[in-house]
């Protein structure tokens, strides 16, 4: 479809260009395998269905709608017209029939969200609108429309409510533990859903450079002349591969309280997907349709996710993931490797360290024919 650029409210004038429309597209097309599997696991969480049904009637959704209606600016042809055009365009490209209401909220912190139980609502902050140019903002709007198409808004609303509730009942020992167990599971899914929505944003904008620029700005502000995409992606590689097992544990601890993946990680994940055969097939018009959704198998989705996780573990450069991969492959001297990985915690020299003049490791002293295979990992995940 044709997309005419324009200069408005300080946004860049972008050239007209043709972009593909994905008629009848299923959200399965762009959903990260772990997004679907996390939802499956979430629904199997003991007591979750009961809590969900109870919360569906208790959540103040009407209050949220009234709050945004009374204290934010609703996007329309008369207000933030350029955002309204983007929203309708994104819904057209992803073939979402009902255009969700969209609001601009006064907040200097760049942010956007899609919430709601009965019907999704999209909210973007003034900080985000002022930070991004036209094409970068288009990817963000597509990101939020992707959340709406995937049905993410319901679970995101519950997470928002439960997080606030956990703070209020922190003084109740068992009550807080029960709520935080569900919050932790929801956050894990939430992070994966962000990777899915990033892909939806790319399908809408169909401009990888703009998506990369937007993520860089979220990390470093409006200083593109001081930033470089390649260097930014190198940070993601260094983050994944750097350090030892202690750093791997710290990464997990840093990630647990977050609702979003780290920005460099999101950029690397999106670039990898954009360069994949799956993305090219979608752009060529080969993708799952919503009419086929009822025929999909939950067990098949879970197996696909398992395979995705196994591949991620096998290809990961993270020290802990390497160790997991080696355990699955039956690598030798794992005990020594673990002790060396965590040796810094003890502040001393690991017991299995060789003499100063002996630079060989147990792996070096093993002949190639005796070494176990490194690439054999069981395939598991949605």
> Could you please report the per-residue DSSP string of 186-234?
HHHHHHHHHHHHHHHHHHHH--HHHHHHHHHHHHH-S-GGG--HHHHHH
Cα 289 to Cα 94: distance, rounded to the nearest angstrom:
11
Handedness of CA 89, 92, 94, 96 (dihedral sign): positive
Those residues whose C-beta lies under 8 Å from the C-beta of residue 239, and which sit 6 or more positions away, are 251, 262, 264, 265
Half-sphere exposure for 306 (CA within 13 Å, toward CB): 12
- CA-closest candidate to residue 33, choices 256, 275, 309, 296: 309
Q: What is the CA radius of gyration of the chain?
A: 23
Which runs of E-coded beta strand occur in the chain? 2-3, 17-18, 73-74, 102-105, 112-115, 121-125
Identify whether 363 is a catalytic site residue: no
* Backbone dihedral angles phi then psi of residue 99, each to the nearest 5 degrees: -75, 120
Cα 207 to Cα 135: distance, rounded to the nearest angstrom:
8
Question: Which residue in 134, 135, 144, 269 is the catalytic one?
Answer: 144
The residue behind tokens 């050239």 is: 15
- CA-closest candidate to residue 332, choices 363, 368, 292: 363
Burial class (CB in 10 A: 0-12, 13-18, 19+), 163: middle
- Enzyme catalytic residues: 144
């Amino acid at each position: 479809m044709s997309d005419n650029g324009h200069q408005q409210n300080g946004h860049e004038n972008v050239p007209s260009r043709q972009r593909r429309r994905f008629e009848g597209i299923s959200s399965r097309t762009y959903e990260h395998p772990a997004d679907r599997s996390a939802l499956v696991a979430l629904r199997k969480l003991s007591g979750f269905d009961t809590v969900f049904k109870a919360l569906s009637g208790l959540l103040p959704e009407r209050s949220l709608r009234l709050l945004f209606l009374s204290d934010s600016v609703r996007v329309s042809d008369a207000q933030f017209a350029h955002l309204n055009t983007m929203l309708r365009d994104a819904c057209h490209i992803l073939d979402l029939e009902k255009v969700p209401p969209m609001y601009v909220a006064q907040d200097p912190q760049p942010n956007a969200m899609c919430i709601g139980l009965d019907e999704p609502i999209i909210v973007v902050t003034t900080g985000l609108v002022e930070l991004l140019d036209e094409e970068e903002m288009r990817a963000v709007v597509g990101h939020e429309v992707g959340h709406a198409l995937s049905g993410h808004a319901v679970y995101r609303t519950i997470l928002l409510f439960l997080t606030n509730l956990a703070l209020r009942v922190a003084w109740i020992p068992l009550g807080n533990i029960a709520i935080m167990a569900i919050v932790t599971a929801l956050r894990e899914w939430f992070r994966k859903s962000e990777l899915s929505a990033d892909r939806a944003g790319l399908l809408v904008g169909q401009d990888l450079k703009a998506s990369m620029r937007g993520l860089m700005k979220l990390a470093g502000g409006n200083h593109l002349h001081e930033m470089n995409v390649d260097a930014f992606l190198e940070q993601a590689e260094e983050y994944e591969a750097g350090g030892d097992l202690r750093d791997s544990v710290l990464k997990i601890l840093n990630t647990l309280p977050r609702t979003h993946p780290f920005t460099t990680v999101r950029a690397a994940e999106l670039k990898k997907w954009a360069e994949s055969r799956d993305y090219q097939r979608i752009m060529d018009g080969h993708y799952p349709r919503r009419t086929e959704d009822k025929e999909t198998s939950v067990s098949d989705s879970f197996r696909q996710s398992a395979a995705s996780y196994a591949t991620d573990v096998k290809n990961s450069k993270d020290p802990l993931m390497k160790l997991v991969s080696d355990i699955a492959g039956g690598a030798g001297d794992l005990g020594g490797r673990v002790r060396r990985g965590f040796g810094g915690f003890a502040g001393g020299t690991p017991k299995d360290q060789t003499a100063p003049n002996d630079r060989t490791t147990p792996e070096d002293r093993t002949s190639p024919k005796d070494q176990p295979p490194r690439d054999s990992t069981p395939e598991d995940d949605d």
